[in-house]
Structure 1
Amino acid sequence: MAGWIDKLEFALASEFEYVRDLGAPGAVQRHKDVRARQCDLFRDLGKNGTISDILSGEKSLLAFELAYYANSKAMKGSLEDALFDLAITEKLVQIIQNPASYKAVDESHARPRNRIGGLPRDEARQFFKSHWTRLLNQDKARLDVIDKQIIDARRANIRTAEKQYIGLQQIALGITPQPPDKVHRAGLGM
């Protein structure tokens, strides 16, 4: 996946340039093409990326939206919350690599309501669920087809990252992995 973040950031910057010049000849088609490229990049990321890659892609897009499209207090707050929660998730992805360190996280989530399938419902798991819901809510808005396709790809990526994280939780805690269908149901409640 080397270089994909540069391609994504170029596609995001290009989108903003084309939006500013939508009246120029060919700008609408260039805008459509760059959005399609973003969609392809997010789909490829979900198929080939690691949890860290997926989180980096989301962080890039959220930061871009905050910088260029946050035009209301509610939107700005939502994007800032998502970026804050994503940063916590990135830290937990690092912590989980060391089972001794993650044991403290496991022990701090002892209550049944703070566990899913015997695993901690830690801040990373909470991020995956809330971000998936945030994207689902965006999908309900009046958007064009390519926007909805990008949101679908991002939602699939968040589901993939959550599954990878559940696998890391199982490894860190020495738990035998569940079959994929049970992990899926335990994950985002789908």
Structure 2
Amino acid sequence: MAKTGLLVKLAIKLGDDWKAYQQKESTPEALAFQNGLKDTLGMYKELAEAQDPEAILKAEQIALIQEKEFANSAEMVNSIKPGLIQLEEARQSLELVHDSEAYQKAASTYAGKRKQGGLPLDGFREFVRSHQARLTNRLKADGSHAEKNIFRQRKTNLKVANEAYIKLQRKALGIENAKGISR
């Protein structure tokens, strides 16, 4: 059967391709890239330790702009563009949450199903949710362990930023932290 012969050839070819890919990953340039990613990961970890939502947003903006610049497909660009728009909305929410009176007025316009734990699911929290989903999708794609560790750390950073932001929301709305609740 011609199909069986073709499938055997395909299996051999795919094996050769993966071997070539592995060899490519061990070139001096690839190793330098991997070492550089370790430094980048360290910087992302420092951001998480700072627990500064504004700094984490800025870091994500830098990453998204870089990803857009080096994107190699229209699909990737089309995923990044809404992320940048949502990031700007998140920045606006972050600015607003520091003005308690203005934030209370804005929060009163949210329907009950657009709240979680009595707190609005505003631009900041929507960005975090959407962007974590984007990063999860990136984790499903091919990439080195170092690259995936950076995506995982970025997701962790977003979680840290979200937790800090929720505290700001509670403060702005005058809501005391309920015992045992950590969102």
| 1:73 paired residue number | 74
Q: C-alpha distance in 1, partners of 2:43/2:143?
A: 19
- List aligned pairs for 1:87-106, cutoff 5 A: 87-106=88-107
Q: Return the alpha-carbon distance in structure 2 between the equivalents of residues 139 and 99 of structure 1.
A: 38
**Unpaired runs of at least 5, structure 1:** 1-21, 185-190
Map of 1:130 onto structure 2: 130
The alpha carbon displacement at 1:155 in A equals 0.4
CA RMSD of aligned residues (A): 1.7
AA partner of residue 114 (structure 2): N
**How far apart in 2 are the matches of 1:72 and 1:156?**
27
Q: Taking every aligned residue pair, what percent have the same amino acid on both sides?
A: 26
Do 1:132 and 1:155's aligned partners in 2 also have CA atoms closer than 8 Å? Answer: yes
Report deviation, 1:52. 0.7
Find runs of 4+ consecutive structure 1 residues off by over 4 angstroms: none
**Helix, strand or coil at the partner of 1:161:** helix
SS in 1 for 2:143: coil
**Match for residue 174 of structure 2?**
174
Say whether the 8 Å CA contact 1:114–1:120 is kept in structure 2.
Answer: yes
Distance of 1:96 and 1:174 partners within structure 2: 12
- Using structure 2 for the length normalisation, give the TM-score: 0.81
Query: Given that residues 87 and 127 in structure 2 are in contact (C-alpha distance below 8 angstroms), is that contact kept between their aligned partners in structure 1?
Result: yes
How much has 1:125 moved relative to structure 2? 1.1
Can you give the 5+ residue segments of structure 2 that lack an aligned partner in the other structure?
A: 1-23
Partner Cα distance (2:165, 2:151) in 1: 21
Could you say which residue in structure 1 is the equivalent of 2:52? 50
